[in-house]
Amino acid sequence: MPRLVVFNHVTLDGYFTDMQGDMSWAHDAKPDAEWSAFVNGNASGGGRLIFGRVTYQMMASYWPTAQAHESNPTVAKQMDGLPKVVFSKTLDSAAWNNTRLVKTDPVSEIRKLKQESGPDMTIMGSGQIIAQLAQEKNLIDEYQIIVKPKVLGDGRTLFEGVKERLTFQLKKSRVFDNGNVLLCYEPLG
């Protein structure tokens, strides 16, 4: 059964986007060889990417470009090649390589995907999808959160819209020289 992992960046004040939905702050880390190796290794892990419409459009506007392939060829190649699922009720098509558009309920579709054989899945960005899935039992297997040494002052939280209390267990952590901290949590209950 494939696992579903959330991978996101948050600020010290708990936001994963600013009020305009901008996440560019998450990718301006100080140069750090250990961080670069982690990013490239993470991208090489394979799997299937899961997006909501907003994150999909942001990713699709960057990763297939010449600039992305020049700046970070390892990640760009993986992002282009991996199978992707985008949840949207408003998109008419999804043209990025290996992308399947799903217009149905994310909860039921993810339940179906988890019952099939296939690669593990990673949700990036996509706070609305995460909030929907987080409230369901046995859907998200792990949360990999990168805490960035930044404060936005305002924005959107990763769990915006969650209506019930959720509890997690820290499974591992890692501190990078550039100040980023990786926290890996599993949901309890």
Report the chain's mean pLDDT, rounded to a whole number.
Answer: 91
Provide the residue count of the chain. 189
Token pair, residue 43, equals: 């991208």
Q: Tell me the per-residue pLDDT of 134-161, one tens digit each, with 9 for 90 and over.
A: 999 889 999 999 999 999 999 999 999 8
Token pair, residue 111, equals: 């339940």
In whole angstroms, what separates CA 36 from the centre of its chain?
17
pTM above 0.85, yes or no: yes
The pLDDT, as a whole number, for residue 29 is 67
- Rounding to the nearest 10 degrees, give the CA dihedral for residues 150, 25, 41, 121: 100
The pLDDT, as a whole number, for residue 118 is 85
Token pair, residue 107, equals: 């909860």
**Minimal CA–CA distance to 83: which of 120, 113, 47?**
47
Q: Tell me the per-residue pLDDT of 70-107, one tens digit each, with 9 for 90 and over.
A: 988 888 999 999 999 999 999 999 999 999 999 999 99
Mean pLDDT of 49-77: 92
15-17 and 156-157 beta bridge pairing: antiparallel
Indicate if the pLDDT at residue 186 is higher than 80: yes
**CA–CA dist 55, 126 (Å, integer):** 6
In whole angstroms, what separates CA 16 from the centre of its chain?
10
State whether the Cα torsion 76-61-36-78 is positive or negative: negative
The pLDDT, as a whole number, for residue 23 is 86
Residue with tokens 């991978």: 7
State phi, psi for 134 to the nearest 5 degrees: -60, -30
The pLDDT, as a whole number, for residue 44 is 65
- Rounding to the nearest 10 degrees, give the CA dihedral for residues 166, 179, 21, 103: -50
Domains parsed from the chain with CATH numbers: 4-188 (3.40.430.10)
